[in-house]
Amino acid sequence: MNSVRAPSPSPQPTNAVPLARLFAYTQSVDLEPYLARTKRGVSTLALSLVWLALAWRGTGRPHQLGWLTEPLLAALLGVARLPTPQTLHRSLAYFTAHALRAAVETAYLAELPHRSGRIWAALDAHQLPYWGRGKRELLRKGWSGNHSRALRGYRLYLAVDTDTGQVITFVLLRGNARDHRLTAVLAARVRRLLGRRLAGVVADSGFTSHAAVEALLAARIPFILGFARSAHVRARLQTLTGQQRRWLQALGAIRLGGCPWDPRLQFLALRARTPTDGRGPWVYVTSIQGLGARRLAQFYRQRWRVEQAIDELVNGHDLDHLVTYRLHPNRVAVGFRLLARNLAIGLQIHEAQARPAVIREPVAFRALYVDGLGLFHRQHATLVVTPHVPTGPAVWALPWTRQRVRLVA
């Protein structure tokens, strides 16, 4: 009897063609030691990819898993169907906060060799708000700069690269944590990761205290920190001469002399950004000697990058969403959103083999690297993907699921 050739599988439509490239890059970074855990059913590596795909799609809510009802996503994960939202939520228990922090740091360090120069780190805190009325013993109040009032929730501390906006490291604590107690902890961790490439740290006055400054001086970490306008500082500002005031207006910054806390410290005054802002001049304390006031002001004003990163995380990765009342699951869920940001920026650096001239924000990144029409079908252990917009052929390996993706024109 003559054999009959089996019909070729019919291609399936998808709206996530670029996601294959993003998954391949994610699996090329050495994240498996931190995300792989022994469990039955769907592997923790596959669940990690689902959490990342949610973050790249702009949400951190497991119940919105329906946004990812893509046949290609299940095929990339090597499963017949996606896990349920309940399974995804329960999977947070399999990960540790330490492992997610290490994964975020590893994703940041992966592309560091492609960049030159020294790195400034900006420290900042963000209150993840809780809008309910109960759970007062778990969710404490802390100041929220975005809402200009104290809110219950958890407090996220970030150390951000001021050049690329990637997260170097992070800590999530109770909502009533004090910022100045984390200054030395974050700076020491950044120094441990970057070594001599760390140029210094910048932060606002909430991170300034006697203990924090002494710890930074002992660790020999250069810094520029905001300084509260105490009575001593106000008195010094009142004694500025007419010439000094003209320099401040013309140059934008002047030195105010030594700090009474330590002879190794200097005060720096920056004028307000607009002539109608009556709150200035702002005062800062620094351990950096030998540089002019304008140069120090340029270094400090890099701190806007951490504020921009927080804004992009809130609006592009749903940072403010709490998945539960408890601290540990939120540490893991927030860690996945920060990991998604680092991988998104890391892929852009990897493709350019340098710091790209333009780093796309989450929405623009999603349009180019996550969403895209096309067709796909399976050939044994290979997924053959045909994009709607023709591109060059490529082959990507997916070691976590023992598959390959072949992109055809």
Structure confidence at residue 106 (pLDDT): 98
The dihedral formed by the CA atoms of 11, 13, 15 and 17, expressed in degrees to the nearest 10: 10
**Please, what are the domains in the chain?**
98-312 (3.90.350.10)
221 within 8 A of 198, measured Cβ to Cβ: yes
pLDDT in tens, 365-385: 999 999 999 999 999 889 999
- Rounded Cα–Cα distance for residues 311 and 320 (Å): 10
HSE-up of residue 200 (Cα within 13 Å, Cβ side): 18
Which residues make beta-bridge pairs with 383? 378, 405
Q: How far does the chain reach from its first CA to its final CA, in angstroms?
A: 38
pLDDT in tens, 282-304: 899 999 988 888 899 899 999 99
130 within 8 A of 107, measured Cβ to Cβ: no
Kindly report the three-state secondary structure assignment for every residue of 195-235: HHHEEEEEECHHHCCHHHHHHHHHHCCCEEEECCCCHHHHH
Structure tokens at 222: 């250069």
Which one has a higher pLDDT value, 245 or 89? 89
- Rounded Cα–Cα distance for residues 344 and 355 (Å): 13
**Phi/psi of residue 155, each to 5°?**
-110, 125
- Rounded Cα–Cα distance for residues 45 and 27 (Å): 10
Q: What is the mean pLDDT of the chain?
A: 91
Structure confidence at residue 249 (pLDDT): 82
pLDDT in tens, 112-142: 999 999 999 999 999 999 988 777 778 888 8
Alpha helix positions (H), 71-126: 71-77, 85-90, 97-110
- Rounded Cα–Cα distance for residues 366 and 27 (Å): 19
Of 182, 186, 184, which Cα lies nearest the Cα of 213?
Answer: 184
Which residues make beta-bridge pairs with 387? 374
* pLDDT at position 146 over 90: no
Which pTM does this prediction carry? 0.93
